[in-house]
Amino acid sequence: MPRIIPQVNPHLPGEAFFWEAGPVGVLLLHGFTATPAEVRPLGQFLHARGFTVAGPLLAGHGTTPQDLNRTRWQDWVQDAEASYRKLMARCDTVFLGGESMGGLLALYLAAEHPQSAGVLAYAPALVTGPSIGPYLLPVLAPFIPLLIKPRRPLILADERWQGYPVNPLRAVGQLFRLQRLVRRRLPIIRQPVLIVQGRLDEVVHPCVPDQVYQAVKSTLKEVHWMANSHHCVLLDGEWERAAQLTLDFIQKVVGTG
């Protein structure tokens, strides 16, 4: 019987959310091993300002790391697609957003749905840290299904983040596949794109914002760096600035404010 590995911060609300309001919708997708708790503060910020907001719980998350090891990247896309379609049925305009793997999924959906209004990518996980590369992973994954995440000094975002304290290695392989697919699809994207990343991000490589900026064919595209933020830029000390940048960007695109 597999060992039960409790989530970090199980007391936080990590369930999916769908909050109705005005005709502009925003999809917010959480990252790898996380839950919607990761994007909930931004969701609350936007909902309070009249936006309809959805934050789904992606397959394999919010249960056990073993469940995540049984998922494929297509399962995450399917869940993101279902929330996008629910928003489209309710709203006139929908923005695609997400943090880390969620930002990667938002870019994937933007390539698939050119009618979407724009992309809100927070530390999109296009190139991730060097801990286990795609060439070593197939050798390790059959023998080491779960790898404990490296310890580091606690930061503010850690108190607000919910998810698994381990990386399920088979699922990491699926994340690598999704990265390759998104890289090939970036030139298809023409919608407005907002990219926000922390200067202290220890997970997503600092080359990513420029990679995305250069590859997409969007006329309106912005990169903003949070000088004192780590990877979870929507939970760290500058999250309210990131939220205000998001609001300003959306209003710029829809022509209000």
H/E segment holding residue 52: strand 52-55
In a 10 Å sphere around its CB, with 0-12 CB exposed, 13-18 middle and 19+ buried, how is residue 50 labelled?
Answer: exposed
Nearest to 63 by CA among 47, 75, 81, 74: 75
CA-to-CA distance for 30 and 28, rounded, in angstroms?
7
Give the CA distances from residue 76 to residues 15, 71, 156, 182, in Å, rounded to whole numbers and listed in that order.
Answer: 16, 8, 28, 14
CA-to-CA distance for 20 and 18, rounded, in angstroms?
6
CA-to-CA distance for 53 and 39, rounded, in angstroms?
10
Q: Is 209 helix (H, G, I), strand (E, B) or coil?
A: helix
CA-to-CA distance for 21 and 27, rounded, in angstroms?
13
Tokens of 107: 């870019």
Cβ atoms of 73 and 102 closer than 8 Å: no
Which residues are annotated as catalytic? 100, 201, 231
